[in-house]
Amino acid sequence: MAVNYIQLTGNMLAPELKTTQSGYTVANFAMVVKTGGENQDDMWVDVEAWGNLAENIVSSFPTDRKTVRVTVEGKLKKDTWEDKSTGGNRSKFYVSANNVAIALDYQKAMGVEYAGDNTAATTQTAAASAMPEPQARPVSEIAPGDAPF
Domain-by-domain residue ranges, the chain? 6-103
Identify the CATH number of the domain defined by range 6-103.
2.40.50.140
Nearest to 107 by CA among 56, 65, 49: 65
What is the pTM for the complete model shown?
Answer: 0.68
Among 26-35, 66-75, 134-143, the minimum mean pLDDT is found in 134-143
- Report how far residue 56's alpha carbon sits from residue 43's, in angstroms, rounded to the nearest whole number: 25
For 39, the 3-state DSSP assignment is: coil
AA identity, residue 37: G
Query: What values do phi and psi take at 61, rounded to 5?
Result: -70, 125
Q: Contact at 8 Å (CB) between 72 and 31? A: yes
AA identity, residue 110: M
pLDDT by residue (tens digit) across 80-126?
999 999 999 999 999 999 999 988 776 665 565 655 544 444 444 44
